[in-house]
Structure 1
Amino acid sequence: MRTDRILARLEQEPERASNRDVPRMSRTRKVLLASAVACYAAIVLAVLVSDRLVHLDWQVMLFRPYKQWPELHAALDYFVVLGQRGPTAVLVAAWLGWRSWRQRTLRPLLVLGAALLLLNSTVGSVKYGLGRLGPHYATTVGADEMFAGGDIFPSGHTANAVVTWGILAYLATTPRARRVLSLVAAGFALGVGATTVYLGTHWVSDVLLGWIAGLVVLLALPWCEPLIAAANDWLLDTRDRLKAGRRPAPLPFPIPPLPAVPERLPSTAVPDGTATAPAAREPAGPVPPREPVAAATGSRPGGTGYGGAPPRTYPAPRTHPHPGRSERSPAGPTGSRRPQPGADRAPRTAPVGPGGRYGHTAG
C-alpha cells in the first residue's frame, strides 16, 4: 500500500524538462576535442617511436606494485569492477531509467546508448588494430609489444570508467550537480586506471590513452544530440500511436533502399503439375521446326512396359541437316569433286599385254 501511494504521488508531480541544458558543440568544446585528439595521437606515436614511455612502462611493471603493498590487493580487486562495462552499464542504466520515467523522456537512456556505441567502436578498433600485449604476456624486456595479437592498448577499463560515470555529469541539469558529478567521475576514472597499473593488467601508457579515449567520446557527444532528439520524438510518438491503435510513424532518418531484385524467368510446367527450372532465353531469329517424336513401346506385347507400366517414349534419332561425306551427290558429270584413289592407274580387270603385267616376258 505504501509503495502504491508513493508511485501515485510521483505520477502527480509536474513534468520536468530534460532538454533545457543540452550541451552544444561550442568553440571551446571543439578546441578541447582537437587537443584531446592530438594527445591521443602523441601517445600512440610515443609508444611506437620513442623509448622513454616504453621504458617507464617496464620500470613500473618490474617494480610490481601488487607485491609492494599486498594488503591493498583484495580491496582493489573489487574496486576495479567500477570500470567493467557490464556492471557499470547496468547501474548507470538503472539510474537513468528512473530519470527517464520521472522526466517523461527517453533522452538519458539514448545518450548512454550512443556513448557506449562510440566507446566500443573507437576503443575496440584501436585495441585490435595495434595488438599490444599486456604486462603479464610480455615476451621481450624493453619492447613495446605492439602488433603481437594482444588487445590491451588503450585500457578499456579506464575509458569505460571515464565515459560511464562521465555521462552522469553530462546529463546534469544544474551547474552545481554538473560540478559535483564531474569530480565523482574523475575520481572513479583516476582510481580505476591506477588500480589496473597496480594489479599489473595494464601498462602506464595504456591507462593514459584510456583516459584520453574516454574524454574524446564525451566531448564528441553533442554531435549526436540531433539524432538522439529525433529518435526520442519518434519512440514517444510511436508509443502514443500504438496505445491509440494507430500505425506507427515512419522513421525520422532515411533508410537506404534495398537492392533491386533481378527479373525471374518464367518456369515451364510439366504434365504432372510441377514446375521446373526457369527456361533459358532463346536467341532472336527464326527457329527451325523440331522433329516429331516417335513413340516406342516396351518389349511386352499389348502396348505396356515391364510390370504393367505405361510405355516409354523415346525421341526419334535426329538427322543432321548436312548429309555425310558418303551421301553427297557428285559435283558434276565427271564425278566427285575429290579424285578417287587410284584413278590414274589401270583397273585390275584390264587385259595384260604381251609383255606381261610388269612389261616383260617370262624368261
Structure 2
Amino acid sequence: MRTERKLTRLDRVFARLDREPERPAHIDVPRMTRHRIVLFSATLAFYGAIVWAVVITSWLVRLDWQVMFFRPYQQWAEIHAFVDYYVVLGQRGPTAVMVAAWLGWRSWRQHTLRPLLALGVSLLLLNITVGAAKIGMGRLGPHYATTIGSNEMGLGGDIFPSGHTANAVVTWGILAYLASTPRARRWLSALSAVTSLGVGLSTVYLGTHWLSDVLLGWAAGLLILLALPWFEPLIARSEAWLFALRDRLRDRRAGALPATAPVPVEAPVLLKPRPTASGDEAAACEASPPARSPRAPVYLAPGPHTARGERTPVTPAGSRRPPHTDRIGRGGTPTARPLTGG
C-alpha cells in the first residue's frame, strides 16, 4: 500500500517561495480605521506623559537613578557578551540592510515597489521625529550624568528617546505591517514586540540609556507604525510615478537604437526583342537576364571540369627519346647494308 509523504511546515514554506512571480491583484493595504485612531491617540498620550514625567523630575526620574546605581551589567556579568551582540538588532544600519534585502526580494517577486517604499517612509519618519526629539530635549545619558537625582534635560545630550528601541520597533514591525495574511501579521507582531522589548532592556542593562528613554522609544516607534496608513496614498503615487519613469526610459532607449536599413530589391531587366537578319517581324519576348553560374573558388581551375575520356589528346612537340643515327624512322627507305665476307 502506497502512502503519500506528509508535508512538513518547512516544505510548505519552500513551496510558497517557489511559486511563480505574480503581482497580487488585491493588496491588503491597512487603512486608518477607528480602532487604529484610538490606539494612535492612546500612544500619543503615553508619549506626552513620559516626557512630562521626566521634565518635572517625578518618580520616573528617581526610578532611572535607582536602576543606574543597581548596575545590571555588574550584577549579571555572565550575559554581557550575549547582550553586546543582541543589541545590534536595534542598530539602524544592520537592521535596515537585513529588512531591505528581504523586502527587496519580495518586491521583485510580486512586481511591486510598495514594501520598499513603505520601509523608506517609515525610516524617514523615524529619523525626523526621533532625531528632532533627541536634539530638542538634549538629555544626557547615565554615563555622562552630572547631578544625582536630576533629569539631565537640556544639557546637549541625544539619548531621549532611545533610538535603538524606536528603530527596533519600526524596522521589525514593518514586517508585520506588510504581512499578507492575518495569521502572519499576528505572529510577526508578537515577534517584533519581543525583539524590540529585548533591545530596549539591553540598552538599560549596558547603562547606555535610562529606563524612561526606553519607554519613550517604544512609544515613538509605535506611533510611526500606527501612522503609516496615512501615507499609503503617497506610497501609491510614488510607485506609479516610478513605474511610469521606468517605462519612459525603456521607450527612449528603444528609440535610440539604430534601425536597420531595408535591403533594396533590384527589379528584373527587361530585354527588348531584336529584329532577325531576314527582316521579318520579330516576336516580342521579355526575358530576365540569364542566371550567372556560381563563381569557382580561387583554388580551383576557372574552366569546367571534364572527364578524362572527354579531353582532347595533346601530342608533344618533340620526341622525348634520345636520337639514334642507326635507326630508321617509320615510312623511310632502308639503306643497303654492306655485305661482309667473301
Please indicate the TM-score interval, normalised by the length of the shorter structure.
0.5 to 0.7
What's 2:161 paired with? 154
Structure 1 portions without partners, runs of 5+:
1-9, 248-363
2-structure distance, mates of 1:51, 1:40: 15
SS in 2 for 1:151: coil
Equivalent residue for 1:33? 40
Structure 2 partner of 1:3: none
| Residue of structure 1 equivalent to 2:81 | 74
2:55 corresponds to: 48
Which ranges of 4 or more aligned residues in structure 1 deviate by more than 4 Å? none
Q: How many residues are paired up? A: 238
Q: Percent identity?
A: 70
Query: Could you tell me how far apart the structure 2 residues matched to 1:18 and 1:68 are?
Result: 55
Given candidates 122, 131, 136, the residue that maps to 1:129 is 136
- Code of the residue aligned with 1:200 in structure 2: it is G
CA contact (8 A) 2:54 2:61 kept: yes
Task: List alignment gaps of at least 5 residues for structure 2.
Answer: 1-16, 255-342
The structure showing larger relative contact order (alpha-carbon pairs under 8 Å, at least 6 residues apart) is 2
| CA RMSD across the alignment | 1.6
The answer (yes or no) to whether the contact 2:21–2:109 under 8 Å persists in 1 is no
For 1:180-329, list aligned pairs within 5 A: 180-245=187-252
Q: What is the CA-CA distance between 1:16 and the residue it aligns to?
A: 3.3
Q: Is the 8 A contact 1:18 1:105 kept in 2?
A: no
Letter in structure 2 aligned against 1:188: T
The code of the aligned residue for 1:30 comes to I
Amino acid at match of 1:23: P
**Higher Rg of the two aligned structures:** 2
| SS of residue matched to 2:252 | coil
- 1:139 aligns with one of 146, 164, 169: 146
Query: Match of 1:245, SS?
Result: helix
**How far did 1:164 drift?**
0.1
- TM (norm. structure 2) is 0.68
Q: How many angstroms does 1:12 deviate by?
A: 8.3
**Residues 71 and 207 in structure 2, CA contact (< 8 A), matched pair in contact too:** yes
* Distance of aligned partners of 1:18 and 1:169 in 2 relative to their CA distance in 1, 3 Å threshold: farther
Contact (CA 8 Å) 2:139, 2:154: kept in 1 or not?
yes
Distance apart, 1:11 and its partner CA = 10
Offset at residue 204 of structure 1 (A): 0.3
CA distance in 1, matches of 2:25, 2:163: 30
